[in-house]
Amino acid sequence: MKPLMCGTAVALALVAAASSQAGPVRPSTIPVHDLRMRANVYSALDALAEKYHVVIGVYGIHIGPGGHFVEISLKDGTLGQAFDAVVSAYPQFQWKETDSGAVHFTFRDAPLPLLDVTVHMFDVENPGRMETTGLLTQAPEVAAWLRDHRCSMDELVAGHIPEEWGKFAVHAKEAPLSAVFDEIAAKSGAYHWGVTVQRRTM
C-alpha cells in the first residue's frame, strides 16, 4: 500500500499479485463458488482482487489493520454479493463499478479529493515496482494537490512481499488519478490499490 502523509496523513498501496488481464465482464456478475473467508477489510478486498483478477481500489479514511473483520460465506453467488458482505461488515463503505471494469470502495462520509484530480498526462514505459509512487507524485497536478494539502505520499507494502512487475506502458491523458491507478493495477497484475488518510504522528 502507498501512504500519503499530510497534516492529516494519507497512505497509498499497490499490492502485488499474479499477472493477468482484466476481462470485459462486469465484476459484480462474476460467479463465485464455495467462497469462505474471515479477514480484516483490506485483506479481504486484496484476496478478492487477487483471486478473481478484478481491479479493486480503496480510498478514504484509514481504518487500521486490526478491526472491522469481514466474514464471507457463499456456496454459489456472485462477486457483487461478496462486495455487499464487506459493506455489511463496515457500513461506512460504499462500492461502485467503473466503466473500465474496476471496483472502487470509498468511505461515504470521507471522500478523498486527490483521487478526483485530473492528470493531464502520465506517460511511463516499464515502470519499476518501487518507483511508481515517485513517478505519480511528479505529475504536476498531483504534486500541486499534495503541496496545497501539506501531504506527502509514501509506500507501504500490504500483504505478501511484492514481486517486480513485467513490462507494460501507461499512457493516460486527462484522466482522474483513480483511473491511472486502475490502469497500473490492471496492467501490472497488482489488482488491488489503496489510498488512505492517516494522521501524522509527531
pLDDT at 19: 38
Q: Provide the pLDDT confidence category of residue 35 given band limits of 50, 70 and 90.
A: very high
* Domain ranges for the chain: 4-199
Predicted confidence (pLDDT) per residue in 167-194, tens digit: 899 999 999 999 999 999 999 888 989 8
Q: Domain 4-199 carries which CATH code? A: 3.55.50.60
Predicted confidence (pLDDT) per residue in 74-94, tens digit: 999 999 999 999 999 888 889
Would you say residue 135 has pLDDT above 70?
yes
3-class SS letters over the chain: CCCEECCEEEEEEEECCCCCCCCCCCHHHCEEEEEEEEEEHHHHHHHHHHHHCCCEEEEEECCCCCCCEEEEEEEEEEHHHHHHHHHHHCCCEEEEECCCCCEEEEECCCCCHHHHCEEEEEEEECCCCCCHHHHHHCCHHHHHHHHHCCCEECECCCCCCCCCCCCCEEEEEEEEHHHHHHHHHHHHCCCEEEEEEEECCC
